[in-house]
Copies of this chain bind each other. A is one copy, B any other.
Amino acid sequence: MPTIKDVAKLAGVSISTASYALNDQPNVHPETKARILHAAKELSYHPHGIARNLKKRQTNNVGVFIYAFAGPVFSETLEGIRQTLQEHDFNIIVSSGTSSMNLLLERQVDGAIVFDNHISDDVLKHYAAHGMPLIVLDRLIQEENIYTSLIDNESLVYHLMSDMIKKGYQRLAYLAGPENAFNNRMRYVGFEKALKEHRLTPFGYFQGDFTIQGGYHIGKELIKRKNRPDFIFCANDESAIGLMQALKESNIRIPEDIAVAGFDHIAIGQLITPKLTTISIDHKAWGKMVAKVMIDILKGEKVTRSFRPEGKVLVNESC
């Protein structure tokens, strides 16, 4: 592969002049510049990013570290992040598993957006302490260089549940996501709070895993019982969709026999019958917002340490 040295030689200039020309510096004679650019094209030269990154001590890469590549929520958020980063000439690097750690440890990114609880607080704090800006979306960490953006889970679920209780539902169950998931825990807090306020106790707690399949299995278990809830709040839409599928297969009417609600407002939820009541988060907008904050941080501009995506209760046919 051609290097800047080859370009300089072909154009008959020094390496530094070539570098100036290629980087659009104003201090190089138009004619020389043309010659250099031409030589570069001739050789189809492209700067070696690694070398540039080493010298400049920055990569222009933003890491997005997620615990899995699955799910409509991630898709949309990632797409939002991607768009905004692209507009500002940053590269998006999505990774998962040990790769994420490596990329962080080896500083192959200038900053990272983290949605992966496999990366410990300590690691995050350590790199933040060394100047790596981090935006964390799945937990709360108070630390220099660590920013958090969290969904207002508690309050949103609280409002939804309060509405439902007013509507008359009484035997209220919760279909949970993974126990260690921040979003799941906070959603449960909101759920419980609403019930407590009305002197109700949870009618059931089912352990799901945020997936359609998980919700489906819970549904299949549920129909074996005789004593069923009249309302199930699901910690996300995907569980809700799986659950509804199972209920429908047993001819349990939604919402007449059991009402269901979810969280996220993913597209499929609005295509099924009955349309899913849910809490709408604009994930794409959130992604854009998060990316914009990261860019501002990297450009040295002042940003708020904590910011939220918007969310609102969306009552539909399933309740």
- Which residues in A have some Cβ–Cβ distance to B below 8 Å? 1, 44, 46-54, 59, 61, 68-72, 74-76, 78-79, 82-83, 85-86, 90-99, 102-103, 105-108, 126, 130-131, 212-213, 216, 242, 245, 248-249, 267-268, 271-273
Q: Which of A59, A96, A106 has the most CB of B within 10 A?
A: A106
Give the contacting residue for A97; candidates B75, B92, B131, B245; CB below 8 A: B92
**A268 near B212: Cβ-Cβ < 8 Å:** yes
**A242 near B213: Cβ-Cβ < 8 Å:** no
A59 to chain B, nearest CB (A): 7
> A99-B86, A216-B271, A271-B216 in contact; A74/B79 too (CB < 8 A)?
no
Contacts of A51 in B (CB 8 A): 54
Known pairs A68-B75, A94-B95 / 4 extra A-B pairs, C-beta < 8 Å: A1-B130, A48-B107, A69-B74, A92-B95
**B271 near A213: Cβ-Cβ < 8 Å:** yes
Contacts of A71 in B (CB 8 A): 75
In the complex, A190→B25 CA distance in Å? 55
Q: How many copies does the complex hold?
A: 2
21 contacts between A and B (CB under 8 A): A1-B131, A46-B105, A46-B106, A48-B107, A49-B105, A50-B53, A51-B54, A54-B54, A70-B75, A70-B76, A70-B79, A71-B75, A82-B97, A92-B99, A93-B93, A93-B94, A93-B103, A94-B95, A212-B268, A212-B271, A216-B271
Contacts of A212 in B (CB 8 A): 267-268, 271
In the complex, A54→B59 CA distance in Å? 13
Cβ-closest chain B residue relative to A102: B91
Contacts of A47 in B (CB 8 A): 106
Contacts of A1 in B (CB 8 A): 107, 130-131
**A93 near B82: Cβ-Cβ < 8 Å:** no
Contacts of A46 in B (CB 8 A): 105-106
In the complex, A155→B6 CA distance in Å? 49
**B75 near A69: Cβ-Cβ < 8 Å:** yes
The 6 closest A-B pairs by CB, nearest first: A49-B106, A91-B99, A69-B78, A70-B75, A94-B94, A46-B105
Give the contacting residue for A82; candidates B52, B90, B99, B103; CB below 8 A: B99
In the complex, A91→B93 CA distance in Å? 11
In the complex, A105→B47 CA distance in Å? 8
Contacts of A267 in B (CB 8 A): 212-213
**B86 near A98: Cβ-Cβ < 8 Å:** yes
Cβ-closest chain B residue relative to A92: B99
In the complex, A49→B107 CA distance in Å? 6
Contacts of A268 in B (CB 8 A): 212, 268
In the complex, A99→B52 CA distance in Å? 16
In the complex, A74→B69 CA distance in Å? 8
In the complex, A97→B92 CA distance in Å? 9
**B108 near A50: Cβ-Cβ < 8 Å:** yes
Cβ-closest chain B residue relative to A130: B1
**B93 near A50: Cβ-Cβ < 8 Å:** no
